[in-house]
Amino acid sequence: MTTSAETEHGKGRPDARPRTARPGGKPLASISLDLDNLWAYLKIHGDAGWESYPTYLEPLSAIVTERLARHELTITIFIVGQDAALEKNRGAMQALASQGHEIGNHSLSHEPWFHTYSYAEVVKEIGESEEHIERATGKRPHGFRGPGFSLSPDTLQVLAERGYLYDASTFPTFLGPLARAYYFWSTKGLSEAEREKRKQLFGTAAEGLRPITPYVWNLAGGPERTNPLVEIPVTTMPLVRLPIHMSYLIYLAVVSRPLAKAYLKSALAMCRLTRVEPSFLLHPLDFMGGDRVSELAFFPGMKASTEFKLDLFDEVIEVMRGSFELVTMEQHARHILAQGGLQARTLQ
């Protein structure tokens, strides 16, 4: 397929050249952080007080920047536009951006029922979020991830129209219904209207049938459009499609740390065997335990301390670095386009 998007998206950017593994060298793995804030979690859970947009971004950014610098690691950080719009979060945003991380768009309002929005609502959500993010960080996003892995044809069309390089909203696992069942079990007091909004939270079991390797979306103009939109799924374990992101590893490590490490090594070995270049996902609560965010004690894994989670993060990064070259999602997307031969798919 053509790769003219590399030129279009790369104008004036220092990281515009595709990142490719050296002959005989390590394959790539991209790492991303969804910068979901305290208010967003409270809102999704149906808790009062989210309307004042309580935040933990300042202490979180201090932890994240220190840990990533320790590992000399540059990643992609998906920012919620509402957070970028608030002056109280500017310091945290600028600290993350100044460290050289790629900045992505995670929607304006962070509502996991994003897939129910009209075309006009999607335009507003993505466009306004983009403006706030660029104003706060000095960086225009080239990648998008929908809140709660929410995706729709209108979203893809808007991303293509706005010249985005990639989307990262698919999560190919069969466990969505189980995650949704746990969510409704742990959430009390939601109205019927609120429950209706959340009825497709985390997707259906059919998500597990989606590809785990990248592809391009077949949109208006066809797969050979001037700016092909790459889809980079959040990687799950090949064949069995079980999650391998950091939060899941923390759940396992609370039970048994050796089990979590063995699970990760097995998943990465399967990725190498099947030639899957992973896209590894992080969340704020992977860096902070219940000792730092008591309001979110209802989340699985929050009994683990901040120290426990950071030690595990260090171990996970070193294990991954042993098998893969760790890059941003933009670098990963440009590498994918440079390789060519991508299938074109239509969102059902």
pLDDT in tens, 294-334: 999 888 889 999 999 999 999 999 999 999 999 999 999 99
Residue 247 has pLDDT above 90, yes or no: yes
SS3 (DSSP) at 34: strand
| pLDDT band for position 48 (cuts 50, 70, 90) | confident
196-226 pLDDT, tens digit each: 666 566 666 778 789 999 999 998 654 445 5
Residue 28 has pLDDT above 90, yes or no: yes
Check residues 123 and 180 and name the one with the higher pLDDT.
Answer: 123
CATH class in words for 4-9+26-59+73-239+325-345: alpha beta
Q: Count CB atoms within 10 A of the CB of residue 72.
A: 8
Quote the percentage of the chain above a pLDDT of 90. 72
Q: Find the distance separating the first CA and the last CA of the chain, reported in whole Å.
A: 23
Task: Give the pLDDT of residue 182.
Answer: 58
- Per domain, the residue ranges of the chain are 4-9+26-59+73-239+325-345
Check residues 28 and 199 and name the one with the higher pLDDT.
Answer: 28
The rounded distance, in Å, linking the Cα atoms of 192 and 190 is 7
pTM for this predicted structure: 0.87
Task: Give the pLDDT of residue 206.
Answer: 72
Average pLDDT over residues 232-256: 95
Distances (CA, A) of 287 to 1, 33, 56, 217: 40, 11, 12, 33
Least confident of 2-11, 110-119, 258-267: 2-11
User: Which amino acid, one-letter code, is at 36?
Assistant: D
Buried b (16+ CB within 10 A) or exposed e, 204-220: eeebbebebbbbbbbbe
